[in-house]
Copies of this chain bind each other. A is one copy, B any other.
Amino acid sequence: MELSFVKERIEHAVLCKQLANIVGTCYVEYWGRAASKLPKGKRLLMIKGDGSFAIHQNRLLRPTNYMMGSTIGCELSDDTLIITASKLHPKETMKVIFYNVDDLQSYEMDEASDLRLFGSERELSDQLMQDLSFLEAGLKPLNQEEVLRKGLVDILAEDKEGRLVVIELKRRQADFNAVQQLKRYMDQVQNMKGKKTRGLLIAPEIRKNARELLEKYGLEFFAIDFEVSNPSTKIKGLQKKQKTLFEL
C-alpha cells in the first residue's frame, strides 16, 4: 500500500479513536523503563482508542512490544512510514518503522462493556463471609478487607476461644508469597491488638515448600473446594490440614 495514504488513514483513525490494525514489515525500537530492538519482520500493530499500542507477532497472547495510553505520531521518511508512540510518567517512546504496509483496517467500535467474572478471589471471600462456620465451628466474622497500615487482610474473625483469626484466601495454588503475606498480616494484627492471633491460609492447594514454611510459622492451611458454576461461585468443601498452634 501507498505509505502516504496509510499515514492519512492512520491519523484519521487515531483522531476518531478507532481501533486500527496495520500489518506490514517493520522494525521496532523501544526506550523507557527498559530498552529493546525488534529485528525487521512482518508484524501486526494494533492501536486502540485509548492509546493502547501493541506490536503482535504470530504467537503468544502478549504483544512483543507495547505501550499503554500513548500519544501517537506518524511521519514519512525515506520510503518508510515511522509511527511513534510516546508517553510521560514514566517517559517512554517507541518507534515503529514500516518498510511496507500490506494491510490497514480501522473500525469504529462500541463503548467497551464490562466483563462479568465469576470465581474471583473477592467473590470467594464474599461467599466464605456468608458462613464462616464452614471453616470452623464458632468462628465469628469481625471484618472483611480490614485495612492494616501495611496491606489488607481478606477476612478478620474471632474463634470461639476469643482469639483473633486472620484469614488469607487464594483462588489458586498458594505459594511462598501467599504464606509470607499471611505471616506479615498476622504479625501486624497481633502487634496492633495485643491478642493471641491465628493465621489461616485458604486455597485449593499449596505448594510443598510453601507448606513447610507455613508449618514452620505455625500457620494453618485449609483446602477449599469450589466450583465456578453459573451464575456464581459455590464453595463445595473446606478441609482443615493443620492443627492450630494452640492444639499442639
Number of copies: 2
Contact A44 B19 (CB under 8 A): yes
| Complex interface: chain B residues within 8 A of A176 (CB) | 150-151, 181, 184
| Complex interface: chain B residues within 8 A of A149 (CB) | 209
Q: How large is the interface on A (under 10, 10 to 19, 20 to 34, 35 or more residues)?
A: 35 or more
In the bound complex, how far is the Cα of B172 from the Cα of A33, in angstroms?
Answer: 9
Contact A65 B115 (CB under 8 A): yes
| Complex interface: chain B residues within 8 A of A65 (CB) | 115
- Write the A27-65 contact mask toward B (1 if CB under 8 angstroms, else 0): 000010111111101111010111010101111110111
Nearest residue (CB) in B for A24 is B107
Instruction: Give me the interface of A with B, judged by CB distance under 8 Å.
Output: 17-19, 21, 23, 31, 33-39, 41-44, 46, 48-50, 52, 54, 56-61, 63-66, 68, 102-103, 105, 107, 109-110, 112-120, 149-151, 171-172, 176-177, 180-181, 184, 209, 213, 228-230
